[in-house]
Amino acid sequence: MGSDGSATSDVNTKAVARTPLHPGATLGVLGGGQLGRMFAHAATQMGYRVVVLDPAESGPAAEVASEHLCYGYDDAEGLKRLASMCDAVTTEFENVPADSLRFLQQHVPVSPTPEAVEIAQNRIREKTFFVNNQLPTNHFERIVDIADIENAWASMSGKAVIKTTQLGYDGKGQRVCSSADEARQAFESFGNVECVLEDFVAFDLEVSVVLARDSNGTVQTFPVVENSHQNGILDTCVVPARVSDVVSGKALAIACELATALDYVGVLAIEMFVAGDNILLNEIAPRPHNSGHYTLDATSYSQFDQQVLTLCGLPAATVELYQPAVMLNILGDLLLKESFDWSSIDSSQCHLHMYGKAEARVGRKMGHINFVGEDVDQLLEGVATLQMT
Ligand SMILES: Nc1ncnc2c1ncn2[C@@H]1O[C@H](COP(=O)(O)OP(=O)(O)O)[C@@H](O)[C@H]1O
Ligand SMILES: [Mg+2]
């Protein structure tokens, strides 16, 4: 492992090496949000053309891509056009139908695979995958019917979280419960859709590992990131995470094992809870992740560079953390404050990234700021000052 906590692992070479795609090739991306935008920035910088497929008429990625196909993710004509225009396709949106990826895969290389995306977009499949691969996670039960809650509750330890199995994000579609009754109420309020009931984890902190695994099976991890949430939405990240070497070593090892067990190709993010020296897997995202945005300014290669490299069948790059970093998400909440003033962001002291979204809304991710420097406390002061405006 590097002194900054990044690591290279070559534990498995099951992945199939591919003929590399070089600059001039065209890369497709499903999804048109900020992750697609930053992918497009990285890809175009390296000389690739980018085609975005996104049902919205305009958006963060469409604005910077070479071309935008405005179709639904399951629209046969849109997918055919994408396949005919591109040399490889990736996704920035984890809820893209796996069958759309399967269709595209018949024509062009697709990474991540439909199988990996299918696991990541369903909390039951995801947690079952962890258990089947002897990877640590908190106790959970599947809830299909409201009557399932009674027995499931009996196996919990007094406090639990009920989450919809699919389509939850930024803390939406989940509730902390202290009784079976509360869980039943939540289940009904979610519309009686399939849920997972899982033990509440009294964690010390939350961390994530973002990694890239290439088509040769080599894994390159970014350093462990420490994540703080506000109202279920990621607020700040501190890198490297302020954890012991034991915890950071465990987090990286679990992440590599997981990526290899999935035979993953592409960029994968893994969210974990840390309690003492123990780590429990929370969830995974089959794409670059908000907690990896600091890599745009603080590491030798960004998570989006890695997405381009792995999609193109090229080796994932070795990662070096140049300096510690703190990332602050800019939500619509900040921009909507009457007291907010752009001049309170001193761009000579930090790196500002905005996603070009026209309308600021509460809870909407509008951009982020990376503070980079040797002294994390000083970086956190910069964040606190901005949050007080
Ligand atoms: N079992 C749990 N115990 C304690 N906190 C939890 C648990 N599950 C989720 N949380 C909190 O809620 C946040 C969002 O949950 P998560 O499962 O990551 O869903 P998503 O990010 O898709 O909304 C987590 O980052 C964590 O802060
Ligand atoms: Mg999460």
CATH number at residue 146: 3.30.1490.20
Residue with tokens 């009457």: 338
The encoded tokens of residue 112 equal: 């991540």
Contact between 354 and 256 under an 8 Å Cβ cutoff? The reply is no
201 lines ligand 1 (CB under 6 A): yes
Is 130 contained in some domain?
A: no
Q: Which atom of ligand 1 is nearest to the CA of 199?
A: 1
Task: Based on the fold, state whether residues 144 and 243 are members of the same structural domain.
Answer: no
Ligand 1 centre to CA of 236 (Å) is: 15
Task: Based on the fold, state whether residues 381 and 317 are members of the same structural domain.
Answer: yes
Domain count, the chain: 3
DSSP 212: E
The encoded tokens of residue 276 equal: 């003492």
DSSP 19: P
Would you give the distance in Å from CA 34 to the centre of its chain? 12
| The residue count for the chain | 389
378 to 60, 104, 187, 204: CA distances (angstroms): 31, 47, 44, 23
Backbone angles phi, psi at 145, to 5 degrees: -130, 150
The encoded tokens of residue 359 equal: 């309308």
pLDDT digits (tens, 9 = 90+) for 130-155: 999 999 999 999 999 999 999 999 99
- Burial level of 188, CB count in 10 A (0-12/13-18/19+)? exposed
Q: Give 253's pLDDT tier (boundaries 50, 70, 90).
A: very high
Sign of CA dihedral 234, 236, 240, 241: negative
**Taking 60 as the threshold, does the pLDDT of residue 169 lie above it?**
yes
The encoded tokens of residue 220 equal: 């390159």
Q: In angstroms, rounded to a whole number, what is the distance separating the alpha carbons of residues 234 and 227?
A: 7
Task: Based on the fold, state whether residues 95 and 232 are members of the same structural domain.
Answer: no
Is 116 contained in some domain?
A: no
**Per-residue model confidence (pLDDT) at position 11:** 45
Q: In angstroms, rounded to a whole number, what is the distance separating the alpha carbons of residues 187 and 199?
A: 16
Task: Based on the fold, state whether residues 78 and 222 are members of the same structural domain.
Answer: no
Contact between 371 and 383 under an 8 Å Cβ cutoff? The reply is yes
**Taking 90 as the threshold, does the pLDDT of residue 266 lie above it?**
yes
Task: Based on the fold, state whether residues 52 and 177 are members of the same structural domain.
Answer: no
State which of 152, 172, 199 marks the end of a domain: 199
Is 127 contained in some domain?
A: no
Task: Based on the fold, state whether residues 206 and 66 are members of the same structural domain.
Answer: no
Q: In angstroms, rounded to a whole number, what is the distance separating the alpha carbons of residues 217 and 199?
A: 34
Residue closest to 263 by CA, chosen among 112, 65, 126: 112
CATH number, residue 349: 3.30.470.20
Is 257 contained in some domain?
A: yes
Is 15 contained in some domain?
A: no
Pocket test for ligand 1, best of 159, 230, 282 (most atoms within 8 A of CB): 282
State which H helix or E strand residue 127 sits in: helix 123-132
Is 376 contained in some domain?
A: yes
Is 14 contained in some domain?
A: no
263 to 13, 110, 368: CA distances (angstroms): 9, 13, 31
Ligand 1 centre to CA of 171 (Å) is: 6
169 lines ligand 1 (CB under 6 A): yes
315: cis peptide before it, omega within 30°? Answer: no
**Per-residue model confidence (pLDDT) at position 13:** 41
Closest ligand to Cα 95: 1
- Centre a 10 Å sphere on the Cβ of residue 320 and count the other Cβ atoms it contains: 14
**Per-residue model confidence (pLDDT) at position 339:** 86
Ligand 2 centre to CA of 247 (Å) is: 19
Closest ligand to Cα 233: 1
138 lines ligand 1 (CB under 6 A): yes
Chain-wide mean pLDDT for the chain?
94
**Per-residue model confidence (pLDDT) at position 349:** 84
Ligand 2 centre to CA of 271 (Å) is: 6
184 to 127, 348, 375: CA distances (angstroms): 21, 51, 47
Rg (the chain; Cα; Å): 20
**Per-residue model confidence (pLDDT) at position 389:** 73
State which of 199, 214, 241 marks the end of a domain: 199
Ligand 2 centre to CA of 170 (Å) is: 7
Backbone angles phi, psi at 138, to 5 degrees: -75, 160
pLDDT digits (tens, 9 = 90+) for 28-80: 999 999 999 999 999 999 999 999 999 999 999 999 999 999 999 999 999 99
Contact between 274 and 205 under an 8 Å Cβ cutoff? The reply is yes
CATH number, residue 58: 3.40.50.20
| Mean local confidence (pLDDT), 153-165 | 97
Q: In angstroms, rounded to a whole number, what is the distance separating the alpha carbons of residues 319 and 212?
A: 10
Task: Based on the fold, state whether residues 32 and 163 are members of the same structural domain.
Answer: no
Task: Based on the fold, state whether residues 195 and 207 are members of the same structural domain.
Answer: no
Task: Based on the fold, state whether residues 351 and 217 are members of the same structural domain.
Answer: yes
Is 128 contained in some domain?
A: no
Long-range contact list for 141-148, CB < 8 A, 24+ apart?
Answer: 141/196, 141/197, 141/198, 142/194, 142/195, 142/196, 143/183, 143/187, 143/194, 143/195, 143/196, 143/197, 144/194, 146/184, 146/187, 146/188, 146/192
Q: Give 12's pLDDT tier (boundaries 50, 70, 90).
A: very low
List the domain range (segments joined by +) for residue 310.
202-388
Task: Based on the fold, state whether residues 193 and 211 are members of the same structural domain.
Answer: no
Task: Based on the fold, state whether residues 166 and 242 are members of the same structural domain.
Answer: no
**Per-residue model confidence (pLDDT) at position 10:** 53
Task: Based on the fold, state whether residues 360 and 217 are members of the same structural domain.
Answer: yes
The encoded tokens of residue 243 equal: 């954890």
